[in-house]
Chains A and B, each alone.
Chain A
């Protein structure tokens, strides 16, 4: 009975499968286009931390398009992935020495890459172009290591809290200035079921910008060198006090009940929908706020001051963000080098800086931008605070001064207290452990 079965039936499926597979194997050998030259154009690759640069990072996109228009012989191939994949792809590429020509990367990773000889020294180029004097001194020194300038500021990192004045006044509250004011606001709003500070930890544990400013209000800048060389501990009375203040704010009900499952984007949305009084973010959120229903009510706040803080309390975090860096191989390719040089020259020109501002970003040079006070009211309120002569800025954001492992421990320590997972002591201990592991 078996014989009848198999002689009677032919296997068409299998035949088709084999034919297709051999065809496809041939097709598989056809290779991708050569990126080096397209109709005699020089191509440089620019790799960013957004999968769709055109929509997610319109400022960069506008600069690239304007640059290509001004330099028809150069093609900028823009690519990008979400931060996690972008960093993963970069570290794999660095290992095989196949980095893109110009790319966005965290400062700590950039310094590791510099140590491994993967990055080009931009100092001669920048001096040549005369850009250096127009950049803030702190930025240049931030991106300098081993006497080399390895990075240039991509966009400004102007962070703090966006405040919805209307929610405050509707509840009979005033704009807080001190920490005690803030706690009172949180208590009052909690009783009304309103979130005071919108934060979201899911896949965005780094979204603790306003609390990184707190660290600087408790003497981080003075301590960090000693902490890094081991002569001072992260587990010190000042920092413990700072984390205790986070706990107080948490107990006052300042945060959303789903702070651990919502993402940063959801936190932003919460604010845009008028469901939170403040948003922990930075200037990059200004465009979204401007387009939302809360635009007219929003002002920028540099954060609470502390009576028991350490050092200057009148600060605003206005520093350079993660840098743009250049692959070391560009230096050996004269055409590419010339193209990259032109690109950098353009990026820090007044025209390009105005493009940043037009797209809701602060300029990163000393350029005085033109701002439309009504159409860009949100951005303007942030830039006004940044330019307030009474406020100083730290040299850098605290997480940018340590390795990635320590910075993620810092984020964890802050969210750990916000989510009531860690006591202030455990929080500082977590960071100290990460430092010890270095």
Chain B
């Protein structure tokens, strides 16, 4: 049995028909993708316009300029911000994924003495999905102060982990439930312990889901704003999402600067995602074909 394979479409059909079908689906895919990407292209165009042209005449070609990027690069400590964001993202996402995986494994695979304990614990985690994050700001600020971690990376990392747990648990328990247990049972018969089962048996097969979780969590950390704006008051620790907000003032907004900063933040993320997901899916497909 294989975990997955890219479907090849209906096989025994005659060649021309199949090719026509493929061309049609290909065109449809490109068209849909184009429509989805269109607004992003629009922003890229806007980011090349001076702020006042954005408001009055965004189609104007002769005013195109890289000034916004020059300003953004000059006024933002880009390296520092990416460093901060990466530190916070790596720490919170890896720890978050590990603790969520451990909990999800226990919640789907391990045998509880009271069966209701399992479902109520799962619900305990999942209920977090319904909480708007603004509720957490005041109390977490106070906890960070009480723990003496206010003004450090940890002030952001710990709440980010907590916030990622409900989502991670939902995804991991969902996939673990759908996933056959035979593999682990075979490993137990081979005499594997809990750690080896998780590490060498379950985690490898969960790769696409883990990848999904990592990607979503990293994206969350890159874009998160309410917590950073409250918990980080030291500009040296600012993350990229704080950077974009710097273009907004009480009576002024530098739209061009915001668009440029947004593009500067967005592009590396897209590239990283493109590389990362291809890698994950390639590894997965190879494993499936060989398996």
Q: Is there any pair of Cβ atoms, one from A and one from B, under 8 angstroms apart in the complex?
A: yes
Is there an interface contact between A24 and B91, defined as CB atoms closer than 8 Å? yes
The verdict on B223 contacting chain A, using a C-beta distance below 8 Å, is: no
Query: Is the beta-carbon distance between B91 and A98 smaller than 8 angstroms?
Result: no
Question: Of B95, B229, B236, B251, which is within 8 A of A85 by CB?
Answer: B229
Please count how many residues in chain A sit with their CB below 8 Å of the partner chain's CB atoms. 56
- Whether A32 and B199, one on each chain, are in contact in the complex, defined by CB atoms closer than 8 angstroms, is no
Interface centre among A28, A56, A95 (most CB of B within 10 A): A28
Interface of chain B: mostly helix, strand, loop or mixed: helix
Select one of A21, A88, A269 contacting B230, CB under 8 A. A88
For A8, list chain B residues within 8 Å (CB).
Answer: 290
Give chain A residues whose Cβ lies under 8 Å from the Cβ of B187.
Answer: 6
B interface residues, tally (CB under 8 Å): 55
Q: A29-B152, A32-B151, A273-B52 are in contact. Are A92 and B138 (CB under 8 A)?
A: yes
Closest to A81 in B: B229
A269:B55 contact, CB within 8 angstroms:
yes
| Contact indicator B246/A32 (Cβ below 8 Å) | no
Chain B residue nearest to A86 (CB atoms) is B250
Q: Check A21–B56 contact: CB distance below 8 A.
A: no
Asked if B186 and A28 make an inter-chain contact with CB atoms under 8 angstroms apart, the answer reads no
Of A32, A56, A81, which one neighbours B252 at CB under 8 angstroms? A56
Contact yes or no, B152 A20, CB < 8 A: no
B235 lies within 8 A of chain A by Cβ: yes
Verify if A307 is at the interface (C-beta below 8 Å from B): no
Interface residues of A in 219-247 (CB under 8 A from B): none
Q: Which of A31, A32, A56 contacts B251 (CB 8 A)?
A: A56
Query: Please, which residue of chain B has its CB at the minimum distance from the CB of A54?
Result: B75
Report the minimum CB–CB distance from B148 to chain A (whole Å).
9
Tell me which residues from 345 to 398 in chain A have a Cβ below 8 Å from any Cβ of chain B. Answer: none
| Sample (6) of A-B pairs whose CB atoms are under 8 Å apart | A4-B291, A6-B205, A57-B250, A89-B230, A92-B138, A268-B251
Chain B residues engaging chain A, CB cutoff 8 angstroms: 1, 52, 55-56, 75, 87, 90-91, 94-95, 97-98, 137-138, 141-142, 145, 150-154, 157, 182-183, 186-187, 199-201, 203-205, 207, 229-230, 233-237, 245-255, 287, 290-291
User: Top 4 nearest A-B pairs by Cβ distance?
Assistant: A56-B249, A21-B94, A24-B91, A50-B249
Other than A9-B204, A79-B233, A79-B235, give 15 A-B pairs with Cβ distance below 8 A. Answer: A8-B290, A13-B207, A14-B199, A17-B98, A20-B90, A24-B91, A30-B152, A33-B236, A51-B245, A52-B247, A85-B229, A89-B233, A93-B141, A98-B150, A265-B251
